[in-house]
C-alpha cells in the first residue's frame, strides 16, 4: 500500500467524520441545512451513520483493501446523491461542486486501492 492511499484515506476520513458528527448529533445548523435540501431529521441521522460506517470501512481498508473499495464506492454514491440534492435545491455552484470533488476523491481512492492490490 502506497503513501498516497494512506494520506488520501486519512484526509477523507477526517472530512467525512467532520460532516457526519453534526448530522448524528442533530446539530441545529445541520438540521436547517438538511431541511433546506428536503431531508428529514431522521434521514439526516441515517446519512450521518452511513458516513461513520464508511469511514470505518476506509480505515479498516488499510488492513484489507476490499473493504476500502466497498466503502469508497459507497461514499462516492452518497456524495453524488448529495450533489443532486444541492442541485435540486438550486444551491450555488460551489455548494454543488464540494460533494462532486469529494466523490471524485473517493472514487480515486477506490481505484488506487485496486491498483495497489
Question: pLDDT digit string (tens) for 83-113?
Answer: 999 999 999 999 999 999 999 999 999 999 9
DSSP of 75-94, one letter per residue? HHHHHHHHHHHHHHTT--HH
Q: What is the pLDDT of residue 71?
A: 98
Q: What is the pLDDT of residue 109?
A: 97
Kindly report the pTM of this predicted structure. Answer: 0.93
Q: At what angle do helices 28-36 and 41-60 cross, to 10 degrees?
A: 100
Torsion, CA 35, CA 30, CA 78, CA 5, rounded to 10? 170
Nearest by Cα to 31 from 48, 10, 15: 48
Amino acid at each position: 500500500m502506497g503513501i498516497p492511499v494512506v494520506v488520501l484515506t486519512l484526509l477523507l476520513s477526517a472530512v467525512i467524520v467532520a460532516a457526519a458528527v453534526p448530522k448524528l448529533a442533530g446539530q441545529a445548523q445541520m438540521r436547517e441545512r438538511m431541511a433546506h435540501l428536503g431531508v428529514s431529521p431522521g434521514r439526516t441521522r441515517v446519512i450521518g451513520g452511513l458516513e461513520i460506517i464508511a469511514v470505518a470501512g476506509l480505515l479498516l481498508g488499510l488492513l484489507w483493501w476490499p473493504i476500502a473499495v466497498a466503502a469508497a464506492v459507497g461514499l462516492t454514491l452518497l456524495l453524488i446523491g448529495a450533489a443532486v440534492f444541492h442541485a435540486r435545491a438550486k444551491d450555488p455552484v460551489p455548494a454543488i461542486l464540494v460533494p462532486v470533488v469529494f466523490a471524485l476523491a473517493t472514487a480515486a481512492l477506490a481505484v488506487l486501492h485496486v491498483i495497489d492490490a
